[in-house]
Structure 1
Amino acid sequence: MTENNGGLDAINEAINTSHGSFHLKTVLISGLGFFTDAYDLFIIGVVVSLLSLAGWTTVDTFYKGLISSTALISAVIGAIIFGRLLDYLGRKRVYGLELAILIVGALGSAFLTPYNNVIALIAWRFILGIGIGGDYATSSTIIAEYSNTKSRGKLIGSVFSMQSFGLVAGPLVALAFMLHGIPPAITWKALLAIGAIPAAIVIYFRLKMPEPPRYTAAAKGDVHKAAKDLKEYTGIHVEVSSKDKYVVKAKWTALFKDRTFLLTLIGTMGAWFMMDWALYGNSIMSSTILSALVPSTIKGLPALIRSTEYTLLIFAGAAFPGYWIATSVLDKIGRKTIQLIGFAVMALSYALIAIGYHSIIGNISMFLALYGLSYFFIEFGPNVTTFVYPPEVFPVTTRGLGTGMSAAGGKIGAFIGTFADAIILGTDASAHLPFLFSLLAVFAVIGFALTLVLLPETKGRNLEDTSGEKRYTVKA
């Protein structure tokens, strides 16, 4: 193998052309975190409904929105902090810490929240969100740096698509408790505590992972350590020379001073913002939105069970396959094409629901079909691709921050969307759903435009090319 850049090219090329079981291992170690993230974020919608049934009297419309969305706004903080730490301290030093924070938040929410104490629950959910935001920055960065060129989209997408299992697990577990007669006062605590289990299982393996060789070679200039870690973790042997040392010198300020990076960052943050408003607003508030389909004669726990069953149908029948179909074709169709298709169909389905709402609300099958269509194309579209894009389009020395800021943009949209949805829907979801879906249609159009104008196609290109870091590679 030709040794250019003192071994840096050799390390990158070895990973770009690699194949091995270590890819599956890395996907599982990273992906279990996203199973947990999805479960913890989306289960809160059911929990909020259970609190009133458990006798809580403090959960009015305002606090319902705040409980549901607090973890999302703290995820913004976690994504930016961990993103910067990834670049400043290295991946290994912080990988696993975000899950420890998540575990504390999940268990505190379940076991250290006094009866009727909304503020305590919000505080614990805030801590939980910091860990979740950190996971968005760390896991996507690490899997990208271990991925080969040919399957990079599928590998990064697979990590994120583990979210689909958490999305489905939430209503399944909730239904299991409710249908077996477990009291709401116990059920809501159990649902929150369960979210700590997958994170606890995988945290050890994250702490044992070595520094990604791409980072060690490009950011630290230590190609010998990179080659050693590559051999130990993947089994791939690379001969390197440090006769001429080359490193990537892009500072974090390059994201704002370099016009290409700045426009790309606007694109990744903006598209993720538009998508997450729809995804999280609809998913966390799904019990409220789908309660419009439940006959008015059904009240209390039976009504919550019925709306949760509808939620499970949408998540399992539409969202779940959307994740994995998108992941399987990312490297064939391309990130940009899939994201454009997703936003376009989201806009169409939301507009149809808004315009024809009063005609279709009485037809459960028709409403679920259109609503399910939007969910499928959120997943076979921007929900997967907005996660894949950021670690591909920023240099290794700013990849953590660029990815973290992109995720932060999404979680700002998720926070505003969830909180706003709770306020918009209020106590009469049926009356306000047409306005909500009209708003979501407009946001989908904006997401389409941002993607079309600002984001490149990255399929089939080496990571060092798509990230633009070659422009910042210099002799040390």
Structure 2
Amino acid sequence: MSSSSAPYAEKAPSVNEAGSLEPQTKGGLENLEEQQSWNWFTIRTLITSGTGFFTDAYDVFIINLIVPMLGYVYFKETGGHIPTGTEGALKGMASFGTLVGQLVFGYLGDAYGRQKIYGLELMIIILGTFCCAMAGSNAKGSTVIQYLTFWRFILGIGIGGDYPMSATVTSEWASAGRRGQLMSIIFSMQGIGNMMASVMTLIILACFKTAIQADVDNLDYVWRVCIGIGCIPAVSTIYLRLTMPESPRYAMDVENDVEKANAAVARATATGTTTTTTAADAVANQAAVAEAKANRNHNRAFIEYFSRWENLKVLIGTSSTWFLLDIAFYGVSLNQSYVLNAMGFVGNGEVYDNLWRTTLGNLTVSLLGFVPGYWFTVFLIEKMGRKKIQFMGFAMLTVLFLILSLAFHKLKAIVPLFVAVFTLAQFFFNFGPNTTTFVVPGEVFPTRVRATAHGISAASGKLGAILATFLFNKVAEIGGQPGEHAFLPQLLGIFAGVMALGFLATFLIPETKGMSLEEIEKRGMTPEEIEVYEANDKRARTAKAQTTSSITRNFKFICKKCGDNNSHPTNKCLPTRRAASATEQAILLLNAVVVFPCLHSDVSKLTKTSCASPTSTLTSEDNDLLSFVSPSAASLSPPVSLSVDPTPVSTSTLSTTCNLVFDDLDTDSVYELEYILDARRANDGNTEYLVK
């Protein structure tokens, strides 16, 4: 195995002297993959991560609504128009902070774990939001804009941290069949946050209507209340984040802590304790965790993984598509008021009416295009796949921005048509690359670098947002007076070209629909690494890390005559509690249930000894079967055969049938088991072996 995986290499599973598995076994992750139904932990994860994104979007997009208020209060001498540089700083400083937060928290999430970091970013958001609302001392304070700009940067750091942390936490707690949908639901809260920013602004404007009409300086209270409300959802979920258990995949893949991973999965799947841990298991688990910690080097692992072109190409794909998307997405979203003015959402010149109409226009676009786009992705991402949705979104955006550019002035004369085209653009942003560029980086990279890579991808997007924020007004005002945005049609045409580049960059990313994170991780490995990975991957070999005691407790026989111990007249056909033999223990390491036939037609003769106990010693074929389970299993004592007495008491009995039922085997294991059983069939014509 190459050095790229060396810091996280694991020993192959083995059976210790007590007959139990070594704790390096990757236990309950199969339970997590099988968890398809909605339970409380799934809902809690959605609330915990989704509320953060709601707050992120609310805080980011509220600036688009309060900037006009700041202009009316602090820039009366320019008719309420904030200078281009100042406005760009107000809108863009949060993006600078977000870029920093995405890089920093992405790194910290991989280096120190999800549990230790998750929640810190929300604390920063709460602090930044509160201080933004309190910026300056009064409406006449000359430093209000400077304070607001600074605290928007701090706020952005927290928002940025939420991207890689929420994405990785949600991805690693989800099953393959629901992962894309759950991540899309989390991200869809951005649309709800955007919408609620408009709703709350309308409500607060209505409450202050008389005061605003009496004195425009009362808008100073309005914008502060609008911002301050953003603290409420963040404060309400901070406890949930701080008490979120460690991701089971991080615990298993990076920390090598089987006990922590199994406990986390049991909590998530509501299955209770999945293992019975012996003292020896606990000691061995502690040793494995200590060894993993000593060998862990996140910087080396990151560099070695992305030094291979096949892996770096994917990072370039996720970063470039997000970068190109955000140029247009934030260029339009953070300057939507100008587009809305062109669409006819213009007041009568009175301050209150202007603000009301602009906010109503934002809400209209959110309800018709922004929010529905997210939810189309939620319901279709697991059917269509990530890549197809992203291709479709970039293609449609290219066409729609071309239409807006080439027919801009004609569309202005037909407001409903202008609204329809612009709303469609917002729809395909979110039923398209705005959602998928968030989802894909949370899936395509291995656990040890997932948060860092997602942070880099998101930061690349934010770099595009920064360019759009600072250049939009300057470019839009080319050839006209300040505030006219005479170059806006041409700028929309530039956005069309950027979306076309995004379409091409999408070819660099892989499709992940229906694949487990472990299957996706193999894509970044060489054939030699895949061979070692599969040998070390205990998920496919023993799903539940059962100990000897738990095997004995769960072992049972099923009578082929009645199929149920309760319905048999003498209740002797199926002993549900007895010590499993060494051979039976070895088989049960594969999560097997052995189904034996009932040997006697005479009910009075049914006993544990005569009905279910094997009668012969190990044969060579038995050794082969035990070797399939574990190299050391064949030497377990006492050696007891799987065979049953082939001599029927009655010709009507099922004594010549022995079914071995194995659950949760991977494809390769099934093929190998079939090969072994074929040999047994050839050597024993009286016994039939079936794999179900």
Q: 1:131 aligns with which of 127, 150, 158?
A: 158
Residues 1:28 and 2:47 are matched in the alignment: yes
Residues 1:270 and 2:320 are matched in the alignment: yes
Partners in 1 of 2:524 and 2:472 — Cα distance?
A: 44
Residues 1:13 and 2:64 are matched in the alignment: no
Gaps of 5+ in 2: 1-11, 15-21, 212-217, 538-692
Q: How far is the alpha carbon of 1:26 from its aligned partner? A: 0.5
Change beyond 3 A, Cα 1:463–1:66: same
Partner of 1:98: 121
Q: How far is the alpha carbon of 1:8 from its aligned partner? A: 5.0
Q: Helix, strand or coil for the counterpart of 2:45?
A: helix
Give matches, 1:433-472, under 5 Å: 433-451=488-506, 453-468=507-522, 471=525
Partner of 2:253: 218
Change beyond 3 A, Cα 1:334–1:8: farther
Partners in 1 of 2:327 and 2:435 — Cα distance?
A: 15
Per-residue CA deviations over 1:63-110 (Å, capped at 9, x if unaligned) read 101101110111011001000000111101110000000111111111
Partners in 2 of 1:306 and 1:68 — Cα distance?
A: 21
For the Cα contact (< 8 Å) 2:94–2:152, is it kept in 1? yes
For the Cα contact (< 8 Å) 1:284–1:418, is it kept in 2? yes
Q: Which sits farther off after the overlay, 22-31 or 285-294?
A: 285-294
Q: 1:75 aligns with which of 91, 98, 118?
A: 98
For the Cα contact (< 8 Å) 1:318–1:376, is it kept in 2? yes
For the Cα contact (< 8 Å) 2:93–2:153, is it kept in 1? yes
Q: Helix, strand or coil for the counterpart of 2:177?
A: coil
TM-score (normalizing by structure 2): 0.65
| Letter paired with 1:436 | L
| Letter paired with 2:122 | L
Partners in 2 of 1:204 and 1:336 — Cα distance?
A: 36
Per-residue CA deviations over 1:344-403 (Å, capped at 9, x if unaligned) read 001100000100111111211111111001100000001111111011011100011011
| Letter paired with 2:430 | E
Partners in 2 of 1:470 and 1:377 — Cα distance?
A: 31
Q: Which sits farther off after the overlay, 380-389 or 423-432?
A: 423-432
Partners in 1 of 2:339 and 2:521 — Cα distance?
A: 40
Q: Helix, strand or coil for the counterpart of 2:413?
A: coil
Q: 1:413 aligns with which of 445, 460, 464?
A: 464
Partner of 2:431: 380
Change beyond 3 A, Cα 1:113–1:269: farther
Q: Which sits farther off after the overlay, 135-144 or 7-16?
A: 7-16
For the Cα contact (< 8 Å) 2:50–2:187, is it kept in 1? yes
Partners in 1 of 2:274 and 2:189 — Cα distance?
A: 32
Q: Helix, strand or coil for the counterpart of 2:431?
A: helix
Q: Helix, strand or coil for the counterpart of 1:398?
A: helix
Q: How far is the alpha carbon of 1:255 from its aligned partner? A: 4.9
Q: 1:88 aligns with which of 97, 105, 111?
A: 111
For the Cα contact (< 8 Å) 1:275–1:382, is it kept in 2? yes
Partner of 2:686: none
Q: 2:483 aligns with which of 417, 423, 428?
A: 428
Residues 1:52 and 2:75 are matched in the alignment: no
Q: How far is the alpha carbon of 1:470 from its aligned partner? A: 7.7
Q: 1:356 aligns with which of 407, 410, 434?
A: 407
Change beyond 3 A, Cα 1:447–1:187: same
Partners in 1 of 2:152 and 2:446 — Cα distance?
A: 33
For the Cα contact (< 8 Å) 1:276–1:414, is it kept in 2? yes
Q: How far is the alpha carbon of 1:429 from its aligned partner? A: 4.4
The higher radius of gyration belongs to 2
Partners in 1 of 2:46 and 2:350 — Cα distance?
A: 43
Change beyond 3 A, Cα 1:129–1:468: farther
Change beyond 3 A, Cα 1:291–1:263: same
Q: Helix, strand or coil for the counterpart of 1:402?
A: helix
Q: Helix, strand or coil for the counterpart of 2:28?
A: helix
Q: 2:237 aligns with which of 179, 202, 224?
A: 202
Partners in 1 of 2:243 and 2:453 — Cα distance?
A: 25
Q: Which sits farther off after the overlay, 89-98 or 409-418?
A: 409-418
Partner of 2:306: 256
TM-score (normalizing by structure 1): 0.94
Q: Helix, strand or coil for the counterpart of 1:290?
A: helix
Q: Helix, strand or coil for the counterpart of 2:468?
A: helix
For the Cα contact (< 8 Å) 1:394–1:468, is it kept in 2? no
Identity, % of aligned positions: 35
Partner of 2:340: 290
For the Cα contact (< 8 Å) 1:327–1:384, is it kept in 2? no
Partner of 1:121: 148
Partners in 2 of 1:261 and 1:10 — Cα distance?
A: 28
Residues 1:42 and 2:51 are matched in the alignment: no
Partner of 2:330: 280
Partners in 1 of 2:441 and 2:411 — Cα distance?
A: 39
Q: Which structure ranks higher in relative contact order (CA pairs < 8 Å, sequence separation ≥ 6)?
A: 1
Q: Helix, strand or coil for the counterpart of 2:176?
A: coil
Partner of 1:153: 180
Q: Which sits farther off after the overlay, 166-175 or 293-302?
A: 293-302
Partner of 1:166: 193
For the Cα contact (< 8 Å) 1:3–1:10, is it kept in 2? no
Partner of 1:235: 270
Change beyond 3 A, Cα 1:185–1:450: same
| Letter paired with 1:262 | L
Residues 1:64 and 2:87 are matched in the alignment: yes
Q: How far is the alpha carbon of 1:56 from its aligned partner? A: 4.0
Q: How far is the alpha carbon of 1:289 from its aligned partner? A: 2.1
Q: Helix, strand or coil for the counterpart of 1:394?
A: coil
Q: How far is the alpha carbon of 1:465 from its aligned partner? A: 1.6
Change beyond 3 A, Cα 1:240–1:164: farther
Q: How far is the alpha carbon of 1:202 from its aligned partner? A: 0.6
Change beyond 3 A, Cα 1:8–1:48: farther
Q: Helix, strand or coil for the counterpart of 2:340?
A: helix
Per-residue CA deviations over 1:432-460 (Å, capped at 9, x if unaligned) read 22022111101100110000x20111001
For the Cα contact (< 8 Å) 1:396–1:469, is it kept in 2? no
Partners in 2 of 1:18 and 1:32 — Cα distance?
A: 23
Gaps of 5+ in 1: none
Partner of 2:130: 107
Q: How far is the alpha carbon of 1:414 from its aligned partner? A: 1.3
Partners in 1 of 2:110 and 2:460 — Cα distance?
A: 19
Partners in 2 of 1:67 and 1:321 — Cα distance?
A: 29
For the Cα contact (< 8 Å) 2:347–2:357, is it kept in 1? no
| Letter paired with 1:25 | R
Partners in 2 of 1:65 and 1:467 — Cα distance?
A: 41
Q: Of Structure 1 and Structure 2, which has the larger fraction of its residues in helix? A: 1
Q: How far is the alpha carbon of 1:231 from its aligned partner? A: 2.0
Partners in 2 of 1:70 and 1:395 — Cα distance?
A: 32
What is the aligned length?
A: 474
Change beyond 3 A, Cα 1:31–1:294: closer
| Letter paired with 2:42 | H
Change beyond 3 A, Cα 1:8–1:69: farther
